[in-house]
Amino acid sequence: MSLDTMFDKFYEKDLSPALSSFIIRTCLSMRKEADFQSSMNRVAKDLREYTDAYAACIMTISRDLYKFNVVGQCVKNNEVNLQNVFDKIPYDVIETWEEMILENDSIVITDPSQMDQYEKRSPDWVKTLKDNGVETLCLVPFIHQNMIIGYMYVTNFQKEALPRIKETIELMSAFVSAEAAHHLLIERLRTLSLIDSRTGVYNRTAMNNKVDELAAQLKLAPAPFSVAFCYLNTLKTINEKRGHDVGNSLLKDAGKTLKEVFKNDYIYRSSGDEFCVISTTSTEEEFEEKIDNLKDLASDPEWIYFTVGYYTDNTDGALHSAMRYANKYEHEFNEEFYYNYPDMVK
């Protein structure tokens, strides 16, 4: 829906002068900001102040990528960073909102009894609300082509003002949904350009970009990190003996296994049958446990078999050197694999 069409629908409503002025002013301000994040932060700020709420938040949802993002936020006196709060919440918790919203087009909490009702349906989410002192909440979805693509909500407002607040959020969500849909499309295209379609992990281009960026960061501020190269020894044999369609299925399963093991790390398909993993969040011991787990899951010479070389840097911050070491170790272990399985295609 175009902005002009939304304004036409907006003028058909019987709105108070104050609300009309707020909607128009916020929408115009939103268009003046330099980027999407700034626009959404501006909307969240205006919304929080207009509703006299403690916090306002704007989120987008990417179902196919199984993730959500806080794209706009404003908290009174900047007391809390909502991104930090949501970083601790799994996607499936956010997914519970949709079922509850389908019943009433929104989620509204203004008293303990309502909080208790939602707690029965999504206890993990309500625990987060209680942990963060949320007592009142009004949450409305962004709808685009009959699909929820995000949410806008405010918390800890005066419950007597709920009718006005709900109307305000519903109107604002109609305008913001068009911006959110465009943003998600651009982000999806950008993400797809960096994803290897056969394995679901990042591609070589994404790896080169990240390595350059991370190497510069580590040079300025050295910090512990680990690198692994994982060679899919069985791919060439599968392709030759069973065909490339089966080989593609193998690559898909291999990517799934890597993502299962290295959940919070960067995973790249560095070449046709080789993968690179970079971890900046695991200790040396934790990374070694992941390597051992991968070896346990991928030691089938008839399907997935990874030869792994890895290296941990605790002091120097020299990423390119660490990658060379890890790659060298992986090639050494490769020779051992082909010695044990001489019939495999190199």
Q: What pLDDT does residue 175 have? A: 83
pLDDT value at residue 226:
96
Comparing CA positions, the residue from 179, 190, 195, 194 lying closest to residue 60 is 179
Do the two domains 3-192 and 204-340 of this chain adopt the same fold? no
Nearest to 176 by CA among 67, 63, 44, 76: 44
CA distance 227 to 25: 50
Contact 150, 177 (CB under 8 A): yes
Please tell me the distance from the alpha carbon of residue 25 to that of residue 42, in angstroms, as a whole number: 11
**Domain 204-340 maps to which CATH number in 2.60.40.680, 3.40.50.1000, 3.30.70.270, 3.20.20.70?**
3.30.70.270
Q: Where are the domains of the chain?
A: 3-192, 204-340
| Neighbouring C-alpha atoms within 13 Å toward the C-beta of 270 | 18
Residue 65 is predicted with a pLDDT of: 67
Burial environment of residue 150 by CB neighbours within 10 A (0 to 12, 13 to 18, 19 or more): buried
Q: What is the DSSP string of 145-186?
A: TTEEEEEEEEES--GGGHHHHHHHHHHHHHHHHHHHHHHHHH
Q: Token pair for residue 231?
A: 């060679």
d(CA 99, CA 297): 36
Torsion of CA 68, 215, 270, 334, to 10 degrees: -130
Q: What is the pLDDT of residue 13?
A: 58
Fold of 3-192: Beta-Lactamase (3.30.450)
Backbone angles phi, psi at 142, to 5 degrees: -90, 130
pLDDT of residue 171: 86
Average pLDDT per run of 10 along the chain, which is 346 residues long?
Answer: 46 69 80 83 93 95 82 93 88 89 89 94 93 95 88 94 91 85 81 85 92 90 94 95 94 95 93 95 94 95 95 91 93 87 85
Q: Which residue has the tokens 């002009």?
A: 4
Tokens for 49, please give them. 């102040």
Tell me the residue type at 59.
M
Using the structure block, give the residue that is written with the tokens 């005066």: 158
**Residues belonging to the chain:** 346
**Chain segment 80-94, per-residue pLDDT in tens:** 899 888 888 888 889
Q: Does residue 304 contact residue 254 with C-beta atoms inside 8 Å?
A: yes
pTM to 2 decimals? 0.59
| CA atoms of 319 and 139, how far apart (whole Å) | 44
Please report which helix (H) or strand (E) contains residue 312, including its range: strand 306-313
